[in-house]
Chain A
């Protein structure tokens, strides 16, 4: 009797095993015969159609309008907020042509992309919404020095009415 039971168990195990293996093969087989379900993208080919989400944090940029005006007063709040010393703000004295008073303005807004961890703290620290995160993500360059960027355009000026 026990022998029969053992033999039954032996073959039971085999059939259970085969069944479980076939269930697994069904899953992979389904995807093999349904190539429409392929999820991967062909990245460099789909550059035109690839759109990142609005909030995606690619790199810090200084917003300029069409008249080459920006909103950065050079208050260094972002520089303080940054945990990694990514941002360096170099200020200069600007003389107002109308009143003759000298005011503080940015000379260079230096951004070290190589040190940035994209934590977004500089953006929320900015009191004048002068900087934002851009959606670019192809940052690879052949020379490390190219990752140190000056964000303010040459000749750009502070937008009037920001400092108040």
Chain B
């Protein structure tokens, strides 16, 4: 029993000791199985908490942008507001429209939750705190996160509502296009790391984050990534799929109660994931801010635990994306596609080329 071997700076010892204890107590097969269930449960709880806190944070931040106070009633400064909302949603009747395709209608809510849930497993939260460290981690994330669009299309199609269908079609076109830019902008950094494994990408930033080390192409890539990933998660100003003032609520118009909450939750988990991937690739994930071999500065930065660094970086990226949402008007669907195909994609392809030259010539730091 070495469960007490716990350090906020490195979780691998803790995880290994739990694993060893499980295998020791039960048979190796059963132990691993229990381990899997445990990890799954952890992610479930994490997603639920993430949804709850992000909704609250977004409502508060949006309120402050708009010179309001936001939720103030339930709990201290309204902290329990989202809990109350979830309770309300649980009690609501789960309506299914009469002529909808009931099987697909119910399936869509789960499909849309599935994709971000799988992706979460590949996110490194802190040193040693990662469920799956695949050697194709980034590729895995990019490919799995695009399953989510199936859920949106299913929801729009099965609702038997024209608004839903328009929303689903919009979002299909949108996500398929913007995935290209997201992938290419992430590839730009992969040229420098030489690996798709997330742990290695992080390790390669131990002497400075890629956004600083990667010269101008890295900054352009980050800009493209932020815009494209905002579009990929259907957030404002790219929220055409659920444009409230045009097509009421888009693909989730017909959903109510807890199924609606699934869509809501999926949106926020996706939001977390794109921020996490952005933080990992461009800002070194849980890696503290290091400058080359300035030993004193680096060790000072190491005092702050990696998990704080990770969530801190995510918070900053999220704040900026929220800032976009609560400032800009929405684009129109054709303008959205123009932005992608005429501006973002050419820029990111040229940027990829530029980064290759930078990497070949060794101009990066």
Contact = CB atoms under 8 A, between A and B. Distances in A.
Interface range on chain B (Cβ under 8 Å from partner): 10 to 19
Contact of A37 (B67, B323, B327): B67
Interface in A24-83: 24-25, 27-29, 31-32, 35, 37-40, 42
Nearest to B319: A32
Contacts, number: 35
A38 B323 contact: no
Interface in A116-150: none
B191 interface: no
A81 B66 CA distance: 44
A14 interface: yes
A21 interface: yes
Interface string B299-337: 000000000000000000000000110111000000000
Count chain A CB atoms within 10 A of each CB in B68, B326, B327 and give the residue with the most: B327
B343 A28 contact: no
A129 B65 CA distance: 48
Contacts of B360: none
B365 interface: no
Nearest to B324: A25
Given A25-B323, A25-B327, A31 B69 contact: no
A31 B323 CA distance: 12
B327 A40 contact: no
Contacts of B327: 21, 24-25, 27-28
Contacts of B324: 25
Nearest to A35: B64
A24 B328 contact: yes
Contacts of A25: 323-324, 327
Given A32-B61, A35-B64, A40 B69 contact: yes
A14 B343 contact: yes
B68 A38 contact: yes
A32 B65 contact: yes
Contacts of A42: 69, 72
A32 B172 CA distance: 34
7 contacts: A24-B327, A25-B323, A27-B327, A28-B65, A28-B326, A31-B66, A39-B68
Interface of A: 14, 21, 24-25, 27-29, 31-32, 35, 37-40, 42
Given A28-B326, A42-B72, 4 more contacts: A29-B323, A31-B65, A40-B68, A40-B69
